[in-house]
Each structure stands twice: as C-alpha cells, then as structure tokens.
Amino acid sequence: MIYQNNYKLEHITEPINKAEPEIKLIVEQVLQLEKDKLSQKNSRYINEDILNIIRNNIQ
C-alpha cells in the first residue's frame, strides 16, 4: 500500500475505479486536458473544454 499524507491511495481512487465506464472516460479526458494545460503558459478556457468533454460523452 502507498501512503501519502496519511491517506491510502486506494481510498482516493476508489470512486473512479468503481465508476461507470462513461464516467471513467470523462475523468481520464479531463485529467489529460489538465495535464496538457499545465504545460502551457496560458491555461485559459479550461472550464469550457471540460464542459465540451462532458457534453460529448453524455450524448
């Protein structure tokens, strides 16, 4: 088990691991978007991008 700040990693990731496949896909895409935005100097409009990810996966 990995401990970080007295929290078990399994407890943190449990909701994602138990989520429906559609939810997992949304979470993965949002995390990738955040990672991509971190490497940019201008990380504006991330909220709009997240909304687009959700809309595209709900339809």
Does some domain include residue 6?
no
Question: What is the pLDDT at residue 48?
Answer: 92
Structural domain count of the chain:
1
Q: Where are the beta strands (DSSP E) in the chain?
A: 3-4, 7-8
Q: Tell me which residue range forms the domain holding 24.
A: 20-59
Question: What is the pLDDT at residue 16?
Answer: 87
Identify whether the C-beta of residue 27 lies closer than 8 Å to the C-beta of residue 16.
Answer: yes
Question: What is the pLDDT at residue 6?
Answer: 65
Does some domain include residue 50?
yes
Question: What is the pLDDT at residue 40?
Answer: 80
Q: What is the pLDDT of residues 13-26, one digit of tens each?
A: 888 889 999 999 99
pLDDT reading at 2 higher than 70? no
